[in-house]
Amino acid sequence: MKFKYYLSCLFLFVILLTGCGRSFDSQGYLTSIMDVLYKGDYTAYMDFTGASRTDVSLSRDQWLSESTDAFLTAFGSGQPSEETTDRISSLLTQIYANASYEASAGASSDDGTLSVQLTIRPLTILTDNYDAIQTYVRSFNEKNAAFAYASLTEEAYYDTYLDGILTILESHLADMNFGEDTTLDINLTKNDDGLYTISEDTLTEIQNTVLPWPKAEAQQ
């Protein structure tokens, strides 16, 4: 299961610094983006871009909201209550805080594109617990077929369904495991305005490497 994580342009651009007599630290810039998204650390990104903490925080909040929507889609859920939505966001925030990555020097091309190698240790909490989640989903579906949840509102139904999945994942937050290192070649491309950009497809590839989703679908 792979999903598109759309980010605001705040995370796609940085002012070109070479005109100020400074070399552009492409490794540091990419790391600063990763730190914003996964660690909630805004300092380096603000230094690179001059963006305000408020703007960066709002953009990260939007990204977390989109990640939460992707979680709901992955597990075949409709819209739960605000309390459950906040619980998913909190779970993802705690998972992302364990993200492990390192940027290293890549190559540059004649057109100004910079390449940075990003080595990621994938978080395997979703894949590690896939069988347990599948077992739970099958049990839930059997109960549902027997009308065990017939009296629930739609919102309460999805709250009940997601509670089982969240309980499984929350129980493993303290024993986070990692997969084998994966190295991605990340291109920073300079546009006509002299700004470096990272494509949405690249950001999606990073996201699905940091936190791989099970290949088969676990849905109610």
Residue keyed to tokens 């139904």: 157
pLDDT given for residue 2 in this prediction: 46
> What is the average pLDDT score of the chain?
86
Q: pLDDT band at residue 11, thresholds of 50, 70 and 90?
A: low
Q: What is the pLDDT of residues 64-115, one digit of tens each?
A: 998 999 999 989 899 999 999 999 999 999 999 999 999 998 777 777 788 9
Helix, strand, coil shares of the chain, percent, nearest 5, are 50, 15, 30
Q: What is the pLDDT of residues 160-183, one digit of tens each?
A: 999 999 999 999 999 999 999 999
Domain boundaries, the chain: 9-123+178-210
Kindly tell me the burial class for residue 104, based on how many C-beta atoms sit within 10 Å of its own C-beta (0-12, 13-18, 19 or more).
exposed
User: 3-state SS of 146-168?
Assistant: CCCCCCCCHHHHHHHHHHHHHHH
C-alpha span between 159 and 13 (Å, rounded) = 38
199 or 34: which leads in pLDDT:
34
Enter the tokens of residue 201: 């497809």
Q: pLDDT band at residue 10, thresholds of 50, 70 and 90?
A: very low
